Structure 1
Amino acid sequence: MTELTQQTKSISWVDPRPQAMQALTMSGLDYLRAMQDGSIPPPPIASHINLEMVSADPGVAVMTATPDESHYNPIGSVHGGFFATLLDSVCGCAVQTTLPAGTAYTSLDLNVSFLRGITSDTGRVVATGRVTKPGSRAAFVEADIKDAEGRLLATATSTCLVFQP
């Protein structure tokens, strides 16, 4: 039997509650751009999947994430939850770019299609979310994940509830 080597990963984050309250005072686009430039810390989930906001434009959000062995499932590849977390994040942020100050959103559904496997050898992947129909009560969005060579790894569609908290 092969000797097993225990590995560790340290995760740190900033309490997200003050930033969530701050988000309500800004347009969604301004909030995400402040996160992108580092003036607002990223959400805690970012440290779990090595997630980074690349760009935020009206109706479009782009993020990267870097899988590692801590994301593996029992069959030796990156767990579908990594895909789903990245796709849900980029879909939600794409919707957020369309929202005025004082408006929030939450995911109602997420439909993911896994097209290729990901391993730690895949390296950094890029996810792009695009709003297909913004709305004052619901917004519809689609997203994809690609590898460094531009190969499509997964796609998703999502519906987000838009509301006044």
Structure 2
Amino acid sequence: MSSQIPHVAPLTTTSRSRTVRWSDPKATAESGRDLPGIEFLSQWMRGERPGAPICELMGFKLIDVEEGGVVFASTPDESVYNPIGMVHGGMACTMLDSAAGCAVHTTLPAGVGYSSIEIKVNFLRPIHADTGEILARGRVTKAGKRVCFAESDLRDSAGNVLATATSSCLIITA
């Protein structure tokens, strides 16, 4: 068995770029400590406070907030592709984790935070740049004093389920 790698001609491709801008996340978090989670997230959704840098990086935005639930939207492009030509599962997982975690955040009083401690994701359909807008809906399934449970799903504009997740979040008090 030869250990030599066969010569492969280099691909000729057109280079693309993307610029990402974000606000200081520590300052944003500190400025919102006196707000109940639902108000903090509602201000973010309305553009009255900066959002999470991960949303800027991956290109998704918070579009709906209610007690126990949120919705994020994205129209993925090639910048979030994996090496085999489809949207990386990490992007889908990040949207699902954000939706579940922020749904939990809507139930928390001022000064209380959360951290994801577990997420289980099922990828059901591939996502491509031509899939169009995708929506991640998160909802709390059981609120607790130390741990909250949530679920989220990712759907295309026709309502087809692309991925689902269940999550647990640790409640952090100051």
What is the TM-score when the length of structure 2 is the normalising length? 0.92
**1:85 counterpart SS class:** helix
Q: Does 1:81 find its partner at 2:90?
A: yes
**2: CA distance, partners of 1:78 / 1:53:** 20
Cα RMSD (Å)? 1.0
Q: Does 1:5 find its partner at 2:40?
A: no
Show structure 1 runs of 5+ residues with no match: none
The one-letter code matched in structure 2 to 1:121 is D
**1: CA distance, partners of 2:36 / 2:143:** 15
Q: Does 1:121 find its partner at 2:130?
A: yes
**1: CA distance, partners of 2:75 / 2:148:** 28
The match for 1:100 is: 109
The one-letter code matched in structure 2 to 1:68 is D
The match for 1:142 is: 151
The match for 1:53 is: 62
Contact 1:136 1:163 in 2 (8 A): no
User: Which of 127, 143, 165 in structure 2 is aligned with 1:156?
Assistant: 165
What is the TM-score when the length of structure 1 is the normalising length? 0.97
The match for 1:24 is: 33
**2:94 counterpart SS class:** helix
* Greater alpha carbon shift after TM alignment, 95-104 vs 57-66: 57-66
**2: CA distance, partners of 1:41 / 1:114:** 30
**1:86 counterpart SS class:** helix
Contact 1:49 1:66 in 2 (8 A): no
The one-letter code matched in structure 2 to 1:6 is S
The match for 1:63 is: 72
Q: Percent of pairs identical after alignment?
A: 44
**2:47 counterpart SS class:** coil
The one-letter code matched in structure 2 to 1:61 is V
Paired residues, what number? 165
The one-letter code matched in structure 2 to 1:163 is I
The match for 2:50 is: 41
* Greater alpha carbon shift after TM alignment, 73-82 vs 16-25: 16-25
The one-letter code matched in structure 2 to 1:164 is T
**Where do 4+ consecutive residues of structure 1 move more than 6 Å?**
none
Contact 1:64 1:124 in 2 (8 A): yes
What does the per-residue CA deviation read over 1:106-145, in whole Å, with 9 as the maximum and x for residues that have no partner?
A: 0001100000000100111001001000111000000000
What does the per-residue CA deviation read over 1:43-63, in whole Å, with 9 as the maximum and x for residues that have no partner?
A: 111112211111111101111
Offset, 1:22 = 2.1
Task: State the structure with more CA Rg.
Answer: 2
